[in-house]
Structure 1
Amino acid sequence: MNPTPTTMPATQPVDIDTMRHSISRLLSPDAQPPASKALATLHSLLRGHMQLLIPEVEQAALQRDKDDVPRYCALVCVGEARGKLRVPARPGEHGTLVHARRLARRLTALCDHYEALTEVVMCLACDQPLRDSDDTLPYDHISPSGPAVRVGRIHARCTHTYRR
């Protein structure tokens, strides 16, 4: 049985890009289930990512006003993530794979909340963070089905990217 996780605040900045890469190894549309040993390693890696990110999301959320909706949503996500960490994987490779995918989905939500709460600006074309050193362009897209508009910025390299 897995021990109850303890979550301590990270001493270094959170590396969301690495976390998202780990997530993509299980959840991307073309992802194949890893081999047994690689799956165990990835499962442990996802647990570690969550243990690092949970206190960071919680701390960022608690700095917001009590009636702030993103704060409430992030704190609910933190509670659910802690619950996922407490539940052990079922025995066997399939049980580990199912549990790892659950952790990956919850880690995705934690990453999203972290970026929203810390006001990380994302590229509207590729969903990757826009850094100060990146070449960016303004972007606005009017929905063909109505008045919805997405206004923001995109990487210069994403100018020919089309998202549905």
Structure 2
Amino acid sequence: MSGTLTATPATAPVDIDTMRHSISRLLGPDTQPTGGEGLAMLQGLLRGHMQLLIPEVEQAALERDANDVPRYVALACIGEARTKLCAAPRAGEHGTLADTRRLARRLAALCDHYEALTGVMMCLTCDQPLRQGEDTLPYDHISPSGPIVRVGRIHASCAHTYRHH
């Protein structure tokens, strides 16, 4: 049975898709180390993404109850992200690459916290956001030895896509 997604926020103040694309340029499975000016530009881009996302994650976390575990974890991540942004750069191209990868990993964690705190739903097949108005289907992955292990929704267009878990 097909359905239309209605559980996502009406507006998104940040572009998580673009941020994740920037992250994939450094941390994706088929990435090649970038050097020189391209690496410096990518590092600046990641820093800019983090500076935009940190206040959004912080606002979403602070709207939660003070005893909420996701709030606590997100605020700890924000502290680490701010530390990474203020850290002195390492010398040399290898140091710059290591610093940039650290920024990318921290940005990925911030994206995850943002999605979790704001209720963004992801397609369990393609890992892309499920947007309001898109046709979706329920998805239940049943373990041969027990109960359902992943429950969620997928894009209707992803229904015939096979994914290794």
Deviation at 1:149, TM superposition (A): 2.2
Q: Look up the match of 2:164.
A: 163
Q: Which sections of structure 1, spanning at least 5 residues, go unmatched?
A: 1-11
Matches within 5 A, 1:1-164: 13-159=13-159, 160-164=161-165
SS in 1 for 2:137: strand
Q: Which has the higher contact order (CA 8 A, sep 6+)?
A: 2
| TM norm structure 2 | 0.88
- 1:110-138 deviation per Cα after TM superposition (whole angstroms, max 9, x unaligned): 00000010000111112211001322111
2:120 and 2:164 mapped to 1: Cα distance? 20
Q: 1:125·1:163 contact (CA, 8 Å) conserved in 2?
A: no
Aligned-pair identity in percent equals 73
**More displaced stretch, 55-64 vs 147-156:** 147-156
Q: How many residues align?
A: 153
Q: Segments of 4+ in structure 1 off by > 2 A?
A: 143-149
RMSD: 1.3
- 1:3-54 deviation per Cα after TM superposition (whole angstroms, max 9, x unaligned): xxxxxxxxx8100000000000000011011131111000000011001101
Amino acid at match of 2:71: R
2:146 and 2:89 mapped to 1: Cα distance? 45
